[in-house]
């Protein structure tokens, strides 16, 4: 089996029924997808599989052999954040960061599909993503800002190191 993750193709050595989440985190050491409920209910493990948000905890790797996977690490880097990551930083949309990667992948797909800054549409796009820190207002504000194409001066936002690492927390 092989997977292309964030543009790099990997031969996968895990057993075929290993979850995509475990392959990413344990075999490939890509740790932005988080193991929350591991039952499909929280969204923390969400990645893009061929561009579509998918729960990595419910996906057997054999079922997506040859697929292209995008994680938060594939959106931008701490030195070169994507517009969505900049928006999350500017709006302080990450607290502990545990849900952030999954939220961000769902939001990325929403924006890629032409999503607007409509609050209800964003809520619908992020439905099923649970933030235990309950920071939903700021998350929706960040996605709306990215949808509008707002630009941000992150030097005035003064993000902490953790905030700069949006979506890439261990
Ligand atoms: S860890 Fe996959 S949905 Fe919660
Ligand atoms: S920021 Fe902590 S769970 Fe969402």
pLDDT band per the 50, 70, 90 thresholds, residue 57: very high
Same domain, 10 and 52: yes
pLDDT at 106: 98
pLDDT surpasses 50 at 134: yes
Report the pLDDT value the prediction gives residue 157, as an integer from 0 to 100: 63
Measured from the Cα of 38, ligand 1's closest atom is 1
Among 32, 54, 74, the domain boundary falls at: 74
* Cβ contacts of 4 within 8 Å, gap of 6 or more: 10, 67, 68, 69
Closest CA to 151 of 102, 87, 91, 98: 87
Same domain, 68 and 112: no
**What is the number of the ligand closest to the CA of 136?**
2
* Ligand 1 binding pocket mutation candidate from 25, 31, 40, 127 (most atoms within 8 A of CB): 40
Domain for residue 168, yes or no?
no
Question: For the residues 166-170, what does the mean pLDDT come to?
Answer: 46
| Residue 161 counted as domain residue | no
What percent of the chain is predicted at pLDDT more than 90? 86
Tokens of residue 150, six digits:
């707002």
Please give the structure tokens belonging to residue 39.
């039952």
Question: Per the domain annotation, does 111 fall within a domain?
Answer: yes
Which atom of ligand 1 is nearest to 58's Cα? 2
What's the mean per-residue pLDDT of the chain?
Answer: 92
Other C-beta atoms lying within 10 Å of the C-beta of residue 94:
28
Q: Among all chains, which residue has been given the structure tokens 């949309």?
A: 93
Rounded Cα distance, 60 and 64, in Å: 7
Q: Does 159 reside within a domain?
A: no
Residue 141 lies in a domain: yes
Does residue 157 lie within any of the structural domains?
no
CA nearest neighbour of 120 among 102, 144, 99, 103: 144
Pairing of strands 8-11, 46-49: unpaired
Residues 21 and 69 in one domain: yes
pTM summary value? 0.90
Return the ligand number nearest the Cα of 128.
1
The domain that holds 14 is classified in CATH as 3.10.20.30
How far CA 63 is from CA of 12, 70, 129, 165, in Å, comes to: 13, 16, 23, 31
Domain for residue 156, yes or no?
no
Range of the domain at 105: 83-148
What residues does ligand 1 touch, defined as CB less than 6 Å away? 35-38, 40-45, 55, 57
One domain for residues 69 and 87: no
In this structure, how many other beta carbons lie within 10 angstroms of the beta carbon of residue 35? 17
Ligand 2: lining residues by beta carbon, under 6 Å: 94-100, 131-133, 135
Query: Domain count of the chain?
Result: 2
CB 71 within 8 A of CB 105: yes
Give the Cα separation of 152 and 110 in Å (integer): 20
Whether residue 160 has pLDDT greater than 60: no
Q: Tell me what pLDDT residue 152 has.
A: 85
What integer pLDDT is reported at residue 161 of this predicted model?
38
């Amino acid at each position: 089996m092989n997977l292309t993750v964030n543009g790099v193709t990997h031969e996968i050595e895990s057993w075929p029924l290993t979850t995509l989440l475990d392959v990413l985190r344990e075999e490939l050491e890509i740790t932005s997808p988080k193991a929350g409920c591991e039952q499909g209910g929280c969204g923390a493990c969400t990645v893009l599989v061929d561009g579509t948000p998918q729960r990595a905890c419910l996906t057997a790797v054999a079922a997506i052999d040859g697929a292209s996977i995008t994680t938060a690490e594939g959106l931008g880097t701490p030195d070169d954040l994507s517009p969505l990551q900049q928006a999350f930083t500017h709006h302080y949309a990450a607290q502990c960061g545990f849900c952030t990667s999954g939220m961000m992948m769902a939001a990325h797909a929403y924006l890629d599909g032409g999503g607007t800054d409509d609050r209800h549409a964003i809520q619908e796009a992020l439905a099923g993503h649970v933030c235990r820190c309950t920071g939903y207002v700021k998350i929706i504000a960040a996605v709306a800002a990215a949808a509008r194409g707002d630009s941000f001066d992150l030097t005035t936002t003064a993000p902490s190191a953790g905030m700069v690492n949006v979506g890439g927390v261990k």
